[in-house]
């Protein structure tokens, strides 16, 4: 059950204390796209996200878009945010997490994943031992591929709550 518990839980990507991550030794941020950065319906990043990402790069973070969506969906984000990306990441499988660690030469304790799903972002990240940061989904609208995951997630959240391990809306870092 512990594999589903994020190291950090915040309301959204703007309420994360990135300076604190930096101080902890995090050098690389893997961002989920859908419902983490933008709603599923958005085709490109808005100004607030462009601004945040330029600040993150100024802080010295290596920022990578790490999404289960395909290349075509990611392209406008990759271009406007000027960041690397890994499409079809197949979270929660671990192979692409390990590929990034190897390719960019980061250790597990230097990388964090930020995403809105326990069953993909958090589980995948915890399996490889990187820092996992859960945020609330931006919108209730989901891709049809996400719906079964959300059902499992609701079940898991209830189980975690019954064991006093995780509470929706109770943020921590």
Binding residues vs Mg ion (CB under 5 A): 32, 34-36, 116
> 3 or 150, CB closer to Mg ion?
150
Nearer to Mg ion, 13 or 62 (CB): 13
Query: What does the alpha-carbon distance between residue 70 and residue 51 come to, in Å, rounded to a whole number?
Result: 24
Min CB(36)–Mg ion separation in Å: 5
What Å distances lie between residue 62 and 58, 110, 135, 144, 153, CA to CA?
A: 10, 10, 20, 31, 29
Q: Of 29 and 102, which has the nearer Cβ to Mg ion?
A: 29
Q: Give min distance, CB of 83 to Mg ion, in A.
A: 17
* Burial call 34-43: b when 16+ CB within 10 Å, e when fewer: bbbbbebebe
Radius of gyration of the chain (CA): 15
Nearer to Mg ion, 134 or 160 (CB): 134
Cβ at position 67, least distance to Mg ion in Å:
8
Task: Give the closest residue to 146 by CA, choosing from 69, 71, 87.
Answer: 69
- Least Å distance, CB 153 to Mg ion, is 11
Q: Name every residue whose Cβ is closer than 8 Å to that of residue 53 and which is 6 or more positions away in sequence.
A: 45, 63, 81, 83
In the chain, the N- to C-terminal Cα span, in Å, equals: 19
Decide whether 35 or 131 has the Cβ nearer to Mg ion.
35
Q: How far is the CB of 33 from Mg ion (least distance, A)?
A: 7
DSSP class of 43: S
């Amino acid at each position: 059950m512990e594999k589903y518990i994020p190291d950090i839980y915040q309301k959204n990507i703007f309420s994360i204390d990135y300076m604190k991550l930096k101080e902890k030794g995090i050098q690389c941020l893997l961002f989920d796209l859908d419902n983490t950065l933008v709603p599923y319906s958005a085709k490109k990043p808005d100004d607030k996200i462009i601004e945040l990402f330029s600040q993150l790069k100024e802080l010295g973070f290596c920022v990578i878009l790490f999404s289960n969506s395909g290349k075509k969906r990611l392209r406008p984000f990759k271009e406007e945010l000027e960041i690397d990306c890994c499409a079809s990441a197949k979270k929660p499988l671990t192979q692409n997490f390990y590929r990034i660690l190897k390719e960019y030469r980061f250790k597990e304790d230097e990388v964090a994943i930020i995403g809105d799903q326990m069953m993909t972002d958090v589980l995948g990240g915890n399996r490889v031992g990187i820092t996992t940061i859960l945020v609330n989904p931006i919108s209730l609208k989901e891709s049809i591929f996400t719906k079964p995951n959300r059902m499992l997630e609701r079940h898991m959240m209830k189980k975690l709550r019954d064991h006093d391990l995780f509470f929706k809306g109770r943020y921590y870092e």
